[in-house]
Structure 1
């Protein structure tokens, strides 16, 4: 596979959807090339807002793609070309906004970077360049990012494999602070519900939630202390949710204490960064294990786990049968005998449960949620949702 030829074609294709540019950095973070007319300024902004360093740190350790948010709401996404385990090049698309932003919103976002040494002229140029940054739905950017990863590696990934490295977005003048706190609370409830149910397909919801809130608003200039406080609070909430999900108090509290001790022992923000995701994943997997139905055969449990991990895809009984080495006829009968539901109904109910979490914990539109769960249309999604819950998606969100 010729990566450079693939990337030339990819760059041309996504340009059909608007002014969405591609960038290439070497393993040392040097910009090799881009097709952006504002290359010099936007590459500087990418660096100044900390996105380049976060991308390089992530790319040297991981192989999956990442989206990189800023407090302004401006977002880039990156995928990585590796030589063995070593980073060879990082490829970036963006920037984009997920929604229209006002200049007041940009000014508020800039307050997050209050200690940056920028001139008035630079800030004014930023405002002018931002006017040309396209607005793109998050689901579309995510799918472009999966395509980018495929062009570089030939590997198919699911939306849940994407990682979001977000920074808190500045409050706009017309935003109600009380509503923002309510949104944080709803997001928190969605995350805790995923712990209670041992939902392994949690990555997108967790990443989105981390972009909604910067954590506990401790009044301090000590960023390390603030991060530690936020992680400790998060660990305490997750620990209790895990107990409600069936994990024994002894195991849950011991595990929570270990993560809290690891948090307090961290010396730098780099040491802290992986801990909340690691802790959340650990608790969810333990709850999932203790909630696994002992009456299910290994093959049917494998199918159930596959469904829960691939809710963003169209799932067919034939694919599940191939996964466990059964004929489709035998698998469908065995699945219904053990779970009480057909493969289609089980998948439908699982997708609706995920939709309920997204409706509660994110600002995604009903259209975006329908697309992210591979429902053909918004109308079809709404009809199925109402069949299962007795409410339309909007009624459920508002209630």
Structure 2
């Protein structure tokens, strides 16, 4: 039996769109440009981030909707999503990052002309970078504790432990545990679990994933343990939180 070719597996609208792009000589911006810009955002480097955005905008933009205004809005919303993930990697609390993202998207939708959207694109970038810079200024801990916190935030969906983090940072677990508890007033295990619970709130609020799936996503041993931790940190179950039993402002 003949195996279908890659092109035969593609939906018709993708094929026709791809052909139009080729006819128009359109090429998406180099991935390196995007990667460098997101890394600059992650580290709070406004000058480098703005420079890369200008380079990207010198290229022809993709058409993401029939009308130019809607197309530009869609492009900015996509960028907003990428920026949000970049600042979470940079150490911003996920709930804070997603709140900024929601605010930016609402602002994008209010704007009624393409020229204003073009200006807002740079304003939005500055807002995301400013949040990373603010976070860096607010971390009063030692270098080793800051490294541990950033590692936890970047690997929040993985199985995390004191031993694993100490191995990554190349320090003795007892030393890391003592420094972390002394400076943050929290054990590293409690800090990890609190971060996982905080990030899981976004999935409860904005996705249809089941509670058991969310527990699995954050590498909790089972749903019961996740529910117990959620209640310990928030005073309610994940189900009650999802149903709207908390002020999320």
TM interval, shorter chain, is: 0.5 to 0.7
Aligned to 2:171: 326
Alpha-carbon distance change, 303 to 233 in structure 1, aligned in 2, over 3 angstroms: closer
Distance between the aligned counterparts of 1:382 and 1:38, measured in 2?
50
Aligned to 1:157: none
Q: State whether structure 2 residue 72 is matched by structure 1 residue 228.
A: yes
After TM superposition, give the deviation of residue 369 of structure 1 in Å. 0.9
Alpha-carbon distance change, 336 to 262 in structure 1, aligned in 2, over 3 angstroms: farther
Distance between the aligned counterparts of 2:188 and 2:223, measured in 1?
22
Q: Deviations over 1:51-103 (max 9, x none)?
A: 895xxx78x847xxxxxxxxxxxxxxxxxxxxxxxxxxxxxxxxxxxxxxxxx
Distance between the aligned counterparts of 1:393 and 1:376, measured in 2?
16
Q: State whether structure 2 residue 235 is matched by structure 1 residue 390.
A: yes
Q: Deviations over 1:195-220 (max 9, x none)?
A: xxx9xxxxxxxxxxxxxxxxxxxxx8
| Equivalent in 48, 67, 70 of residue 12 of structure 2 | 48
Q: State whether structure 2 residue 182 is matched by structure 1 residue 344.
A: no
Aligned to 1:264: 118
After TM superposition, give the deviation of residue 47 of structure 1 in Å. 4.3
After TM superposition, give the deviation of residue 227 of structure 1 in Å. 2.1
RMSD of the TM alignment (CA)? 4.1
Distance between the aligned counterparts of 2:146 and 2:115, measured in 1?
35
Conservation of the 8 A alpha-carbon contact between 1:366 and 1:378? yes
Distance between the aligned counterparts of 1:308 and 1:225, measured in 2?
36
Alpha-carbon distance change, 283 to 393 in structure 1, aligned in 2, over 3 angstroms: same
Count of residues paired in the alignment: 175
Q: Deviations over 1:335-383 (max 9, x none)?
A: 0111111000000000000011111111111121111111111111111
After TM superposition, give the deviation of residue 388 of structure 1 in Å. 1.1
After TM superposition, give the deviation of residue 284 of structure 1 in Å. 4.1
Per the normalisation by structure 1, the TM-score is 0.37
Structure (1/2) with the larger helix percentage? 2
For residues 64-79 of structure 1, the aligned pairs below 5 Å read: none
Conservation of the 8 A alpha-carbon contact between 2:139 and 2:146? no
SS in 1 for 2:4: helix
For residues 178-189 of structure 1, the aligned pairs below 5 Å read: none
After TM superposition, give the deviation of residue 263 of structure 1 in Å. 5.6
Gapped regions of structure 2 (runs ≥ 5)? 19-26, 33-43, 45-64, 84-95, 101-113, 245-249
Alpha-carbon distance change, 39 to 295 in structure 1, aligned in 2, over 3 angstroms: same
Conservation of the 8 A alpha-carbon contact between 1:370 and 1:378? yes
